[in-house]
Amino acid sequence: MASGIEFSASIPPCEHGRAGGFDACLANPPASKWALSRRRRALDVAVAFVALLVSATPMVLIGFCLRLISKDAALFSQRRVGRLGRLFPMYKFRTMAASDDGDAGPGLTQNGDPRVTRFGRMLRKCKLDELPQLCNVLRGDMSLVGPRPTLPPYAALVNMPYRPGLTGPATVAFCREEKVLSAIDASELDRYYARHIKPLKARMDACYMCKATLRSDLHVLAATFVRTISPASDPNPARHVSKPISAPTIAPEQNSAR
Protein backbone atom coordinates (compact mmCIF):
# COMPACT_ATOMS: atom_id res chain seq x y z
CA MET A 1 0.00 0.00 0.00
CA ALA A 2 1.30 3.42 -0.83
CA SER A 3 1.57 6.03 1.86
CA GLY A 4 2.28 9.02 -0.37
CA ILE A 5 -1.21 10.49 -0.20
CA GLU A 6 -1.34 14.17 0.62
CA PHE A 7 -4.29 16.38 1.53
CA SER A 8 -4.97 18.92 -1.17
CA ALA A 9 -7.09 21.04 1.18
CA SER A 10 -4.78 23.60 2.78
CA ILE A 11 -5.36 24.95 6.27
CA PRO A 12 -6.16 28.67 5.82
CA PRO A 13 -4.89 31.37 8.19
CA CYS A 14 -6.73 31.79 11.46
CA GLU A 15 -10.01 33.65 10.95
CA HIS A 16 -10.52 34.54 14.60
CA GLY A 17 -8.01 37.38 14.72
CA ARG A 18 -6.06 35.88 17.59
CA ALA A 19 -2.39 36.54 18.18
CA GLY A 20 -0.60 33.28 17.51
CA GLY A 21 -3.05 32.27 14.79
CA PHE A 22 -4.73 28.91 14.75
CA ASP A 23 -2.34 27.44 17.36
CA ALA A 24 -3.85 29.88 19.86
CA CYS A 25 -7.32 28.67 18.90
CA LEU A 26 -6.28 25.07 19.50
CA ALA A 27 -4.93 25.95 22.94
CA ASN A 28 -8.06 27.93 23.93
CA PRO A 29 -10.83 27.29 21.38
CA PRO A 30 -13.41 30.09 21.03
CA ALA A 31 -17.12 29.29 21.31
CA SER A 32 -20.34 30.99 20.27
CA LYS A 33 -22.92 32.00 22.88
CA TRP A 34 -25.22 29.25 21.61
CA ALA A 35 -22.50 26.61 21.99
CA LEU A 36 -22.26 27.38 25.73
CA SER A 37 -25.90 28.19 26.39
CA ARG A 38 -28.34 26.44 28.71
CA ARG A 39 -30.86 26.31 25.87
CA ARG A 40 -28.50 24.14 23.86
CA ARG A 41 -28.02 21.85 26.83
CA ALA A 42 -31.80 21.62 27.32
CA LEU A 43 -32.20 20.71 23.64
CA ASP A 44 -29.51 18.03 23.99
CA VAL A 45 -31.29 16.44 26.94
CA ALA A 46 -34.73 16.56 25.31
CA VAL A 47 -33.60 15.09 22.00
CA ALA A 48 -31.41 12.42 23.63
CA PHE A 49 -34.25 11.36 25.92
CA VAL A 50 -36.71 11.00 23.05
CA ALA A 51 -34.11 9.25 20.88
CA LEU A 52 -33.41 6.75 23.66
CA LEU A 53 -37.12 5.98 23.98
CA VAL A 54 -37.42 5.45 20.22
CA SER A 55 -34.25 3.37 19.96
CA ALA A 56 -34.75 1.34 23.14
CA THR A 57 -36.09 -1.74 21.32
CA PRO A 58 -33.40 -1.71 18.59
CA MET A 59 -30.72 -1.31 21.25
CA VAL A 60 -32.04 -4.31 23.19
CA LEU A 61 -32.08 -6.38 19.99
CA ILE A 62 -28.54 -5.33 19.11
CA GLY A 63 -27.34 -6.23 22.59
CA PHE A 64 -29.11 -9.59 22.36
CA CYS A 65 -27.50 -10.35 18.97
CA LEU A 66 -24.07 -9.40 20.26
CA ARG A 67 -24.48 -11.77 23.20
CA LEU A 68 -25.58 -14.55 20.85
CA ILE A 69 -22.48 -14.33 18.67
CA SER A 70 -19.98 -13.61 21.44
CA LYS A 71 -19.48 -14.20 25.15
CA ASP A 72 -18.07 -10.70 25.51
CA ALA A 73 -20.13 -7.85 26.95
CA ALA A 74 -22.30 -6.10 24.36
CA LEU A 75 -21.21 -2.66 25.58
CA PHE A 76 -17.75 -1.29 26.17
CA SER A 77 -16.36 2.08 27.12
CA GLN A 78 -13.22 4.00 26.27
CA ARG A 79 -11.70 7.00 27.99
CA ARG A 80 -12.11 9.94 25.62
CA VAL A 81 -11.16 13.61 25.88
CA GLY A 82 -14.11 15.78 26.85
CA ARG A 83 -14.86 19.32 27.92
CA LEU A 84 -11.85 21.24 29.29
CA GLY A 85 -9.65 18.22 28.62
CA ARG A 86 -11.34 15.98 31.17
CA LEU A 87 -11.50 12.28 30.34
CA PHE A 88 -14.83 10.47 30.41
CA PRO A 89 -16.03 6.94 29.56
CA MET A 90 -17.64 6.96 26.11
CA TYR A 91 -20.06 4.08 25.51
CA LYS A 92 -20.39 2.05 22.32
CA PHE A 93 -21.70 -1.30 21.21
CA ARG A 94 -18.84 -3.74 20.82
CA THR A 95 -17.76 -4.14 17.20
CA MET A 96 -14.38 -5.79 17.81
CA ALA A 97 -13.07 -8.68 19.81
CA ALA A 98 -12.87 -7.80 23.50
CA SER A 99 -9.06 -7.67 23.53
CA ASP A 100 -9.10 -5.12 20.68
CA ASP A 101 -11.90 -2.79 21.75
CA GLY A 102 -9.90 -1.28 24.57
CA ASP A 103 -6.54 0.39 24.42
CA ALA A 104 -4.79 -2.64 22.90
CA GLY A 105 -3.93 -2.41 19.21
CA PRO A 106 -4.00 0.61 16.89
CA GLY A 107 -6.31 3.40 17.93
CA LEU A 108 -7.27 4.08 14.30
CA THR A 109 -9.41 1.78 12.17
CA GLN A 110 -8.95 1.16 8.46
CA ASN A 111 -11.52 -0.13 5.99
CA GLY A 112 -11.47 -3.94 6.18
CA ASP A 113 -9.76 -3.97 9.60
CA PRO A 114 -9.68 -7.67 10.59
CA ARG A 115 -10.37 -6.78 14.22
CA VAL A 116 -13.90 -5.70 13.32
CA THR A 117 -16.45 -8.51 13.42
CA ARG A 118 -18.93 -9.13 10.61
CA PHE A 119 -21.86 -7.95 12.72
CA GLY A 120 -19.77 -5.07 14.02
CA ARG A 121 -19.05 -3.97 10.47
CA MET A 122 -22.77 -3.71 9.81
CA LEU A 123 -23.30 -1.71 13.00
CA ARG A 124 -20.51 0.68 12.05
CA LYS A 125 -21.83 1.19 8.54
CA CYS A 126 -25.21 2.29 9.90
CA LYS A 127 -23.64 4.09 12.91
CA LEU A 128 -25.77 1.95 15.22
CA ASP A 129 -22.75 1.22 17.41
CA GLU A 130 -22.93 4.88 18.50
CA LEU A 131 -26.45 4.68 19.98
CA PRO A 132 -25.25 4.15 23.59
CA GLN A 133 -23.66 7.60 23.42
CA LEU A 134 -27.13 9.05 23.85
CA CYS A 135 -26.55 8.09 27.50
CA ASN A 136 -23.36 10.17 27.42
CA VAL A 137 -25.45 13.12 26.25
CA LEU A 138 -27.88 12.70 29.15
CA ARG A 139 -24.98 12.41 31.59
CA GLY A 140 -23.55 15.70 30.35
CA ASP A 141 -20.40 14.19 28.86
CA MET A 142 -21.40 14.98 25.29
CA SER A 143 -23.63 17.19 23.18
CA LEU A 144 -25.56 16.39 20.01
CA VAL A 145 -23.22 18.49 17.86
CA GLY A 146 -19.54 19.14 18.47
CA PRO A 147 -16.09 17.72 17.80
CA ARG A 148 -16.04 13.95 18.07
CA PRO A 149 -14.44 12.83 21.36
CA THR A 150 -11.06 11.27 20.64
CA LEU A 151 -8.57 9.07 22.40
CA PRO A 152 -5.95 11.23 24.19
CA PRO A 153 -3.14 10.56 21.64
CA TYR A 154 -5.31 11.89 18.81
CA ALA A 155 -6.79 14.94 20.56
CA ALA A 156 -6.21 18.31 18.87
CA LEU A 157 -8.73 20.44 20.83
CA VAL A 158 -7.67 19.54 24.35
CA ASN A 159 -9.01 22.57 26.21
CA MET A 160 -12.35 23.12 24.51
CA PRO A 161 -14.98 24.93 26.62
CA TYR A 162 -17.82 22.97 25.00
CA ARG A 163 -18.78 19.31 25.09
CA PRO A 164 -17.73 16.92 22.33
CA GLY A 165 -20.57 15.76 20.12
CA LEU A 166 -22.30 12.79 18.61
CA THR A 167 -21.64 14.42 15.26
CA GLY A 168 -20.14 17.57 13.83
CA PRO A 169 -18.96 19.12 10.57
CA ALA A 170 -15.72 17.13 10.56
CA THR A 171 -17.65 13.95 11.35
CA VAL A 172 -19.93 14.54 8.37
CA ALA A 173 -17.03 15.34 6.04
CA PHE A 174 -15.06 12.29 7.16
CA CYS A 175 -17.93 9.86 7.66
CA ARG A 176 -15.99 7.37 5.50
CA GLU A 177 -12.64 8.08 7.11
CA GLU A 178 -11.83 4.38 7.29
CA LYS A 179 -11.83 4.26 3.49
CA VAL A 180 -9.28 7.07 3.31
CA LEU A 181 -7.06 5.37 5.89
CA SER A 182 -7.27 2.03 4.08
CA ALA A 183 -4.85 3.42 1.47
CA ILE A 184 -2.19 4.12 4.13
CA ASP A 185 0.38 1.58 5.22
CA ALA A 186 -0.35 0.48 8.80
CA SER A 187 3.17 1.41 9.92
CA GLU A 188 2.59 5.05 8.89
CA LEU A 189 -1.04 5.34 9.95
CA ASP A 190 -0.54 7.37 13.12
CA ARG A 191 1.96 9.72 11.50
CA TYR A 192 -0.27 10.29 8.48
CA TYR A 193 -3.31 10.96 10.67
CA ALA A 194 -1.42 13.40 12.89
CA ARG A 195 0.02 15.29 9.91
CA HIS A 196 -2.96 15.46 7.58
CA ILE A 197 -6.33 14.49 9.05
CA LYS A 198 -6.14 15.72 12.64
CA PRO A 199 -5.30 19.36 11.83
CA LEU A 200 -7.98 19.52 9.14
CA LYS A 201 -10.62 18.13 11.51
CA ALA A 202 -9.51 20.52 14.23
CA ARG A 203 -9.82 23.47 11.85
CA MET A 204 -13.33 22.45 10.77
CA ASP A 205 -14.55 21.85 14.33
CA ALA A 206 -12.97 24.96 15.89
CA CYS A 207 -14.26 27.25 13.15
CA TYR A 208 -17.72 25.73 13.42
CA MET A 209 -18.04 25.93 17.20
CA CYS A 210 -17.05 29.60 17.38
CA LYS A 211 -20.03 30.42 15.12
CA ALA A 212 -22.47 27.62 16.02
CA THR A 213 -26.18 28.46 16.14
CA LEU A 214 -29.37 26.48 16.59
CA ARG A 215 -29.90 26.58 12.83
CA SER A 216 -26.40 25.32 12.03
CA ASP A 217 -26.71 22.51 14.60
CA LEU A 218 -29.98 21.38 13.02
CA HIS A 219 -28.32 21.45 9.61
CA VAL A 220 -25.45 19.24 10.84
CA LEU A 221 -27.89 16.78 12.42
CA ALA A 222 -29.91 16.61 9.20
CA ALA A 223 -26.78 16.06 7.09
CA THR A 224 -25.64 13.31 9.45
CA PHE A 225 -29.00 11.55 9.23
CA VAL A 226 -29.10 11.70 5.42
CA ARG A 227 -25.56 10.44 4.98
CA THR A 228 -26.11 7.63 7.46
CA ILE A 229 -29.22 6.20 5.80
CA SER A 230 -28.14 6.88 2.21
CA PRO A 231 -24.66 5.63 1.17
CA ALA A 232 -25.06 7.40 -2.18
CA SER A 233 -25.01 10.75 -0.38
CA ASP A 234 -21.82 10.08 1.57
CA PRO A 235 -19.08 12.61 0.89
CA ASN A 236 -16.28 11.21 -1.23
CA PRO A 237 -13.18 10.87 0.95
CA ALA A 238 -10.98 10.93 -2.14
CA ARG A 239 -11.89 14.58 -2.75
CA HIS A 240 -9.80 15.51 0.30
CA VAL A 241 -6.64 13.93 -1.08
CA SER A 242 -4.39 14.27 -4.03
CA LYS A 243 -2.31 11.32 -5.20
CA PRO A 244 1.14 11.18 -6.82
CA ILE A 245 1.19 9.31 -10.12
CA SER A 246 3.10 6.45 -8.52
CA ALA A 247 0.41 5.88 -5.91
CA PRO A 248 -2.39 3.39 -6.59
CA THR A 249 -5.70 4.92 -7.50
CA ILE A 250 -8.33 5.36 -4.79
CA ALA A 251 -11.58 4.89 -6.63
CA PRO A 252 -13.94 7.75 -5.74
CA GLU A 253 -17.43 6.86 -4.71
CA GLN A 254 -20.12 7.60 -7.27
CA ASN A 255 -21.63 10.92 -6.33
CA SER A 256 -24.91 11.46 -8.03
CA ALA A 257 -26.33 13.20 -4.95
CA ARG A 258 -23.54 15.71 -4.31
> Does residue 139 fall inside a structural domain?
yes
In this prediction, residue 143 carries a pLDDT of 98
> Does residue 73 fall inside a structural domain?
yes
> Does residue 160 fall inside a structural domain?
yes
In this prediction, residue 221 carries a pLDDT of 95
Query: Using one digit for the tens of pLDDT, what is the confidence trace for 45-66?
Result: 999 999 999 999 999 999 999 9
Q: Distance between the two ends of the chain, CA-based, in angstroms?
A: 29
Q: Residue 147 belongs to what domain range?
A: 19-231
Instruction: Name every residue whose Cβ is closer than 8 Å to that of residue 73 and which is 6 or more positions away in sequence.
Output: 94, 98
The residue-averaged pLDDT of 128-146 equals 96
In this prediction, residue 3 carries a pLDDT of 40
> Does residue 62 fall inside a structural domain?
yes
Query: Using one digit for the tens of pLDDT, what is the confidence trace for 11-49?
Result: 444 555 554 566 777 778 889 999 999 999 999 999 999
- Cα 37 from Cα 31, distance rounded (Å): 10
Residues 127/114, Cβ–Cβ less than 8 Å: no
> Does residue 159 fall inside a structural domain?
yes
> Does residue 84 fall inside a structural domain?
yes
CA distances from 100 to 41, 151, 196 (A): 34, 14, 25
**For residues 168 and 235, which has the higher predicted lDDT (pLDDT)?**
168
**For residues 171 and 158, which has the higher predicted lDDT (pLDDT)?**
171
Query: Using one digit for the tens of pLDDT, what is the confidence trace for 147-157?
Result: 999 988 888 88
**For residues 14 and 179, which has the higher predicted lDDT (pLDDT)?**
179
> Does residue 10 fall inside a structural domain?
no
**Bridging pattern class, strands 75-81 and 165-167:** unpaired
**Mean pLDDT value across the chain:** 78
At residue 142, does pLDDT exceed 50?
yes
Please tell me whether the overall predicted TM-score, pTM, comes out greater than 0.85 for this model: no
In this prediction, residue 106 carries a pLDDT of 57
Between 176-180, 191-195, 237-241, the lowest mean confidence (pLDDT) is in 237-241
> Does residue 120 fall inside a structural domain?
yes
Count of the separate structural domains present in the chain: 1
Query: Using one digit for the tens of pLDDT, what is the confidence trace for 206-248?
Result: 989 999 999 999 999 999 988 887 755 444 444 444 332 222 2
Query: Using one digit for the tens of pLDDT, what is the confidence trace for 69-104?
Result: 888 889 989 999 999 999 999 999 998 876 544 444
